[in-house]
A and B are shown apart, each in its own frame.
Chain A
Amino acid sequence: MKTVLAATAALALLGGAAAAQTTLRIGLAEDPDILDPTLARTYVGRIVFASLCDKLFDIDESLNVVPQLALSHETSADGKAVTIRLRPGVKFHDGEPLDAEAAKYSLERHLNMPGSFRKPEIAALDHVDVVDPLTIRLVLKTPFSPLIAQLTDRSGMMVSPKAAKEAGDKFGLKPVCAGPYRFVERVQQDRMVMEKFQDYWNKDNIHIDRIVYLPIVDATVRLANVKSGGLELIERVLATDIKDVRSDPRLKLSTALELGYQGIDINVGNGERAKNPLGSSAKVRQALSLAIDRDALNQVVFNGEFMPGNQWVSPEHPYFQKSFPVPKRDVAKAKALMKEAGVTAPFEVDFMVPKGAETQAVAEVIQAMAAEIGINLKIRVTEFATSLKQAEGGEYQAYLLAWSGRTDPDGNAYIFHKCKAPQDYPGYCNGEADRLLDEARVVADLPARKAIYEKLTKIILDDVPKLYLYHRRVLIAHTARLDGYRQMPDGLVRVVGLKLK
């Protein structure tokens, strides 16, 4: 009898402890791919990493680089060596220390592991030297100014060398990093469970015991979950649901302007399909840009919640070129340009649009506006994977495409505008643009770099291989019980400092 009583008491105590545990349930728009910082490639995966894997550096709301696992960095005068001081006393989830050797291992793993998606991001890195137990030196092949910005994302994530060596390419099934939460379990397409890491270097700022990530694809169902209390936070709220979230006293909306952009690729030199009035004449492309009322587009499709744009960074970004403001609609000037170009309007343009409620609505509004100057956009709604293949093969004339954005402007410009770069779907090649893109990678000083980008912006706005339209807001809805949530422009859900009331 005594044993039974003791067991009951113990169970009651356990029950009490379990009840006091706080859990933050986060609804994701997709199921992430593998949770290995070296092999991961999805945006949604980065949201999960934010609780699991700390990085050498992070960004703040104004896009400044701030220390995380590193304390400081210093670039040599020739730009070919970066010395990084590491935070002392940091441990991985398996108790192994994060020292210079571990940091060297992580960076070289990103650089050399077969199938690494980080390799292109840090390709300028030649090798890593251990200076002392808490200092590393990154030796570069050529100066590369976006490097530190790269280390604020997955390339800067540190993994436990012991766990990584043991698991090989299966490391992502049970990742061991140095973030505030450690990995507990993952049921594919169902949930990912993390629990508070007791030895975290900043543990005094961790107030929630568990985090559960639940992929829920349908935005309406995600919203229903957070409204019904089934989730505490959801990402990627639809712009059309903003009103609904704001009117609900149980919910709060956190937003930030995205790092990326939405635009239209125009096939100017990618195969036979480029041979059409839009692809052949920069004047016609400029006319199309002037025919689009970006403000109206934002009002009609997104209730005015997003921000019209005309460059690869938003008007709020430090690298936005104020000398090229977002143009107002000017149909008369657009028609004049069409006349100057000597094209016979109206003519048809094949407009490939990836499937999605919002993308289709955007395409229809643009279609109506373009028709007024005689450009008849024929919308072709295409499943995303298929559209990528067709864009690469030049099987399109105009292609509505989004980019989630990178902290450094290089990440938004280089691979799109450099001749034959991976995402040069328009087939755009301009020697001067290429030279400026390369030059901006070497110069580290902001005003000097901005001046280089100003010249590049002028070229791109004249040639219009890509027509920039608007910048979305990162939209996060969470319960009013969640305290301390701040949204950063990269869209990630940071968990340090969060409290559940």
Chain B
Amino acid sequence: MLAFLSKRLLQLVPTLFFVSVIIFTLQQLLPGDPALVMAGEERDPEVIEQIRKQYRLDQPIPIQYVYWVKGVLSGDLGESMRIKVKVRDLVAEKLPVTIQLACMAIVIALSIGITAGVIAAVFKDSVWDYAANVFALWGRSTPTFWLGIMLIFLFSVELGWLPASGYVRPSEDFWGSIASTIMPAFVLGNVGAAVLMRHTRGAMLDALQSDYVRTARAKGLLERVVVLKHAMRNALTPVITLGALELGELLSGAVLTEQIFSIPGFGKLIVDSVFNRDYAVVQGVVLVTATVYILLNLIADIAYVLVNPRLRG
């Protein structure tokens, strides 16, 4: 196990190296000049020159890359050109916000998706089944920005129940935090719910037609016990895996939702930084995101190996 682990950890080094090169190169392909964007409305040539010098934008790209990597290796992701705050601090401030949003969204997606999926399978070809299918289709095909704005008009402007936008930290006011994130979490979870519903329905239909369910029914068990205890438990294993994958999707899906609801998370940070050509922030955020994905992948691999020792070779 130790050998496997050290081998995988060693493989991380070239992977992260390539990721860093790709991030840096792709960013250079962004049209527009960061110094020109930073120089304000006046765009005075002297100021532009000063910015280029200060942030080493006047150096060749490989040199800029070396400086960046050197910083990253010593734990310094650089500093935002726009607001002069350490990228590390920005990441530490924004990541928990997006994680909170994604977790709430996945809870919403799982609760709605699984419930609707099970109901659709059990009452196949009934009104309930059609209703659940229409719901899934609607969830998948409704644009998030439209749904977001409609929810704001309904729950904030008309009913006055929820704040229209903004974010409250759970440490400041727990219920206030839930109120400020429930609409964006629903918008985000809605798409996932639709996908999960379709998968749950399929898996449940398979399970309900399987031999062990027939046996359970033959034993004279109550239908409720057959559905919930026998069929659902087996059907849900792949659905939960899908849910975990959806979580990754949600982290990136948060980009648009955070923008609509002015949630100061990772998504909003990256969008604003790209538009302001705040290179250090873009690089830092993308690198952190990539590292998180790679580490999650590694954890999944280790978990597989723990379950199935044949993979250790």
User: Which A residues lie at the B interface, using CB under 8 A?
Assistant: 31, 33-34, 39, 41-43, 114-117, 119-121, 169-170, 172-173, 187-191, 214-218, 220-221, 224-225, 227-230, 383-386, 388-390, 392, 403-404, 415, 422-423
A218 with B277: CB separation less than 8 A: no
A114 with B36: CB separation less than 8 A: no
Contacts of B36 in A (CB 8 A): 385, 388-389, 392
Besides A117-B42, A188-B264, A189-B268, 17 other CB < 8 A contacts? A115-B50, A119-B44, A119-B46, A120-B44, A173-B85, A214-B165, A215-B262, A221-B164, A221-B260, A224-B149, A230-B164, A230-B165, A385-B33, A386-B32, A388-B36, A388-B43, A423-B43
Contacts of B32 in A (CB 8 A): 383, 385-386, 388-389
Chain B 138-160, CB within 8 Å of chain A: the 1/0 string?
A: 00000000000100110011001
B33 with A389: CB separation less than 8 A: yes
B93 with A187: CB separation less than 8 A: yes
Choice from A115, A173, A221 contacting B261 with Cβ under 8 Å: A221
Most buried by A among B36, B90, B166: B166
Contacts of B44 in A (CB 8 A): 117, 119-120, 422
If the complex has contacts A230-B165, A389-B36, are A33 and B93 also in contact, measured as CB distance less than 8 A? no
Contacts of A227 in B (CB 8 A): 157
Closest-by-CB residue of A relative to B51 is A115
Contacts of B260 in A (CB 8 A): 218, 221
If the complex has contacts A34-B83, A187-B264, are A404 and B41 also in contact, measured as CB distance less than 8 A? yes
Instruction: Show 24 A/B contacts (Cβ-Cβ < 8 Å), sorted by A.
Output: A33-B82, A33-B83, A41-B38, A41-B41, A119-B47, A120-B44, A170-B84, A187-B264, A188-B93, A189-B262, A215-B262, A216-B166, A221-B261, A224-B149, A224-B152, A224-B153, A228-B156, A385-B36, A385-B37, A385-B275, A386-B31, A388-B33, A415-B42, A422-B42
Choice from B85, B149, B166 contacting A188 with Cβ under 8 Å: B85
Cβ-based interface call for B45 (8 A): yes
Cβ-based interface call for B186 (8 A): no
In the assembly, what is the distance between CA of A173 and CA of B83, in Å? Answer: 8
| 9 pairs of A and B residues whose beta carbons are closest in the complex | A41-B40, A385-B32, A190-B264, A120-B44, A386-B31, A228-B156, A189-B264, A225-B164, A216-B262
Choice from B33, B43, B149, B268 contacting A221 with Cβ under 8 Å: B149
Closest-by-CB residue of A relative to B54 is A115
Closest-by-CB residue of B relative to A169 is B84
In the assembly, what is the distance between CA of A392 and CA of B261, in Å? Answer: 35
Cβ-based interface call for B177 (8 A): no
Interface size class of B (residues with CB under 8 A): 35 or more
Cβ-based interface call for B269 (8 A): yes
Contacts of A215 in B (CB 8 A): 262
Closest-by-CB residue of A relative to B97 is A190
**Distance to closest chain B CB from A274 (angstroms):** 20
Contacts of A114 in B (CB 8 A): 50, 54
Chain B 73-90, CB within 8 Å of chain A: the 1/0 string?
A: 000000000111100001
In the assembly, what is the distance between CA of A31 and CA of B259, in Å? Answer: 12
Closest-by-CB residue of B relative to A171 is B84
Cβ-based interface call for B163 (8 A): yes
**Distance to closest chain A CB from B79 (angstroms):** 10
In the assembly, what is the distance between CA of A48 and CA of B90, in Å? Answer: 21
Choice from B43, B51, B153, B261 contacting A422 with Cβ under 8 Å: B43
Choice from B37, B46, B153, B277 contacting A120 with Cβ under 8 Å: B46
Q: Which chain B residues in 8-57 approach chain A with CB under 8 Å?
A: 31-33, 36-47, 50-51, 54
**Distance to closest chain A CB from B5 (angstroms):** 37
B167 with A190: CB separation less than 8 A: yes
Cβ-based interface call for B272 (8 A): yes
If the complex has contacts A115-B47, A188-B83, A228-B157, are A385 and B167 also in contact, measured as CB distance less than 8 A? no
In the assembly, what is the distance between CA of A229 and CA of B160, in Å? Answer: 8
In the assembly, what is the distance between CA of A228 and CA of B153, in Å? Answer: 9
If the complex has contacts A115-B54, A217-B262, are A228 and B164 also in contact, measured as CB distance less than 8 A? yes
A221 with B165: CB separation less than 8 A: yes
In the assembly, what is the distance between CA of A488 and CA of B39, in Å? Answer: 26
Closest-by-CB residue of A relative to B156 is A228
Contacts of B276 in A (CB 8 A): 385
Closest-by-CB residue of B relative to A355 is B275
Contacts of A389 in B (CB 8 A): 31-33, 36
Choice from A169, A214, A388 contacting B166 with Cβ under 8 Å: A214
In the assembly, what is the distance between CA of A389 and CA of B164, in Å? Answer: 36
Chain B 256-280, CB within 8 Å of chain A: the 1/0 string?
A: 0001111010001100100111000
In the assembly, what is the distance between CA of A187 and CA of B262, in Å? Answer: 12
Contacts of A390 in B (CB 8 A): 31
**Distance to closest chain A CB from B16 (angstroms):** 26
Closest-by-CB residue of A relative to B277 is A385
**Distance to closest chain A CB from B38 (angstroms):** 7
**Distance to closest chain B CB from A314 (angstroms):** 18
B259 with A42: CB separation less than 8 A: no
B31 with A31: CB separation less than 8 A: no
Contacts of B46 in A (CB 8 A): 119-120
In the assembly, what is the distance between CA of A41 and CA of B39, in Å? Answer: 7
B272 with A189: CB separation less than 8 A: yes
Chain B 159-192, CB within 8 Å of chain A: the 1/0 string?
A: 0100111110000000000000000000000000
**Distance to closest chain A CB from B41 (angstroms):** 6
A225 with B165: CB separation less than 8 A: yes
Contacts of A220 in B (CB 8 A): 149
In the assembly, what is the distance between CA of A265 and CA of B165, in Å? Answer: 38
In the assembly, what is the distance between CA of A173 and CA of B79, in Å? Answer: 13
In the assembly, what is the distance between CA of A344 and CA of B46, in Å? Answer: 43
**Distance to closest chain B CB from A394 (angstroms):** 14
Q: Which chain B residues in 207-248 approach chain A with CB under 8 Å?
A: none
In the assembly, what is the distance between CA of A354 and CA of B299, in Å? Answer: 45
A31 with B272: CB separation less than 8 A: yes
Contacts of B41 in A (CB 8 A): 41, 43, 403-404
**Distance to closest chain A CB from B146 (angstroms):** 11
